[in-house]
Amino acid sequence: MSEPNETRPAIQDDIRVSEQQESKSGTEAFSRRTFLGVGSAGLATAALTSLVVDAQERGNIAKGEQDHSASNPGPENKPLLDENPNSNFPPPTDYGNIIPVWYSFDLTHMRIQEGGWTNQVTQTVLPSSTDIAGVRMRLTAGSFRELHWHTSDEWAYMLYGNARVTVLNPDGTIFIGDVGKGDLWYFPAGFPHSIQGLGPDGTEFMLIFNQGDFSEDNTFLISDWVAHTPPSVLSRNFGLPESALRKLPTNDLYIFPADLPESLAQDMARDGVSSLPKYTWKLGDMAPKSRTRGGEIRVADSHSFVAAKNISGAVATIKPGGLREMHWHPNASEWQYYISGKGRMTVVLPHGARTMDFNANDVGFVPRIAGHYIENTGDTDLQVLEVFATGDFQEISLNNWIRRMPPEMAMAHLNLDANAISKISADPGIYILPR
Ligand code: MN
Ligand code: MN
């Protein structure tokens, strides 16, 4: 056996990006027809498609699309249809009905207070996501998300600006750190924490909770506790006269304006700022897990961002025409936030396949072990945040599986010849395929 040739077939030299190489991306319009294999993706796509839907059925669907059958004389929501062409008029390989895999933060209401706002996509609006909920938040410069704690772990991705976070450990030490765009933080369940917007224009971030029915309106707030404790108990507990406690808040603060904090160096110089765990992480400083002419992906899980025991995440940047390869995750469902660009994802389950369009600020969901892939259908980079309720990021590549089994097995199942199989990538770390 010539192992090097097995693991590095020629095709990968074309896919992998070298330091000098740059993507030659055009703006070839992406259509359902390229999806069907008429475009450059070519014969392999067509061969696999035929396994799912036989030619007869595909012919019937195609005929229905071309004649009067697909006409809709009734009402329609044109802006929504224009934004989601594949959702309403699916690729012919879609079938059956599966659980919801799409929602958008732009369909949620914002809770606005002086100092910022928040909105959330939880199990209430995306019922299939039972183990992850997402909350977006904006804090103006100086404003706080009030000191609080909650039952789930919290993982965050910074979308904009700068923030200071603090978290208290059970051993009495406190962590204080500053984060900027693209950075992460992680707070273990039950650990009390705060977030404050910094200059020049505060911050905006995406919070991820490993509990689908989490609600940002249902956290333990320090103001709630003091407001609902008799003054005599507060006095004894704090060792302060009741007269010193007259100005304690009597209502939720939740989000509220405040002065900008001292410099990080000054805050760090205080007693007890000696947290051993590091609760912030610079995702952008990590080497990409994979970089190809189709894009790149950075992954942070507990093997790198050690404090993040129960939640992991990745940011995939998919170039125009690029394909986040056919794969699944054996140990966790995937909750996605589309940061920028336009894409289309297909999710395959044993009883159905569903394609949806995604735009910036949309949420995607993939149940554990469900097959899926994402295509960049726009003419700018598609950036997707992928998060998992596990500290151990795992991915299974369909290409890798086909190549790792004895070729006779693959031939018997897929009717591909040995030459075709040898051209499929055996690399489990490609992640994004170029146009
Ligand atoms: Mn929190
Ligand atoms: Mn995935």
What percent of the chain is predicted at pLDDT more than 90? Answer: 79
Size of the chain, expressed as the number of residues it contains: 435
Query: Cα of 150 to ligand 1 centre, how many Å?
Result: 7
**DSSP 8-class letter at 281:** E
Select which of 204, 334, 386, 395 is catalytic. 386
Please name the residue that has the structure tokens 């999806």. Answer: 35
CA distance 187 to 219: 14
Per-residue pLDDT tens over the stretch 343-364: 999 999 998 999 999 999 999 9
The type of residue at 53 is: V
Q: Which of 29-33, 150-154, 290-294, 431-435 has the lowest mean pLDDT?
A: 29-33
Nearest ligand, CA of residue 387?
2
Q: What is the mean pLDDT of residues 268-287?
A: 91
Q: What is the mean pLDDT of residues 278-307?
A: 97
Residue 52 has pLDDT above 70, yes or no: no
pLDDT at position 13 is 54
Query: Cα of 202 to ligand 2 centre, how many Å?
Result: 31
pLDDT category of residue 45 using cuts at 50, 70 and 90? very low
146 is catalytic: no
Query: Cα of 134 to ligand 2 centre, how many Å?
Result: 17
Q: Rounded to 5 degrees, what are φ and ψ at 235?
A: -60, -50
CA 108 to chain centre: 18
- Dihedral, 77, 83, 84, 88 alpha carbons, nearest 10: 30
Helix (H) or strand (E) holding 323: strand 323-328
pLDDT at position 58 is 60
Query: Cα of 182 to ligand 1 centre, how many Å?
Result: 18
pLDDT at position 272 is 81
Q: Rounded to 5 degrees, what are φ and ψ at 56?
A: -60, -50
Q: What is the mean pLDDT of residues 416-427?
A: 95
pLDDT at position 18 is 57
Q: What is the mean pLDDT of residues 175-199?
A: 98
CA distance 164 to 176: 7
Residue 50 has pLDDT above 90, yes or no: no
Q: How many CB atoms lie within 10 A of CB 114?
A: 9
pLDDT at position 60 is 66
CA dihedral sign of residues 372, 376, 378, 380: positive
Per-residue pLDDT tens over the stretch 371-383: 999 999 999 999 9
Query: Cα of 120 to ligand 1 centre, how many Å?
Result: 13
Nearest ligand, CA of residue 332?
2
Please name the residue that has the structure tokens 């998919």. Answer: 318
- Confirm if 119 and 195 have CB atoms less than 8 A apart: no
pLDDT category of residue 48 using cuts at 50, 70 and 90? very low
pLDDT at position 357 is 98
Residue 10 has pLDDT above 70, yes or no: no
CA 253 to chain centre: 29
pLDDT at position 354 is 97
Please name the residue that has the structure tokens 């689908």. Answer: 212
Nearest ligand, CA of residue 120?
1
In the structure, ligand 2 is a single-atom ion and the residues with CB under 5 Å from it are 334
pLDDT at position 42 is 40
Nearest ligand, CA of residue 135?
1
Query: Cα of 148 to ligand 1 centre, how many Å?
Result: 6
Query: Angle at CA 156, nearest 5°, toward 193 and 373?
Result: 160
pLDDT at position 96 is 95
In the structure, ligand 1 is a single-atom ion and the residues with CB under 5 Å from it are 154
**Beta bridge partner(s), residue 185:** 156, 280
CA distance 307 to 194: 17
Domains in the chain, start-ordered, CATH in brackets? 3-103+286-433 (2.60.120.10), 108-282 (2.60.120.10)
Query: Cα of 358 to ligand 1 centre, how many Å?
Result: 27
- Confirm if 342 and 334 have CB atoms less than 8 A apart: no
Residue 68 has pLDDT above 60, yes or no: yes
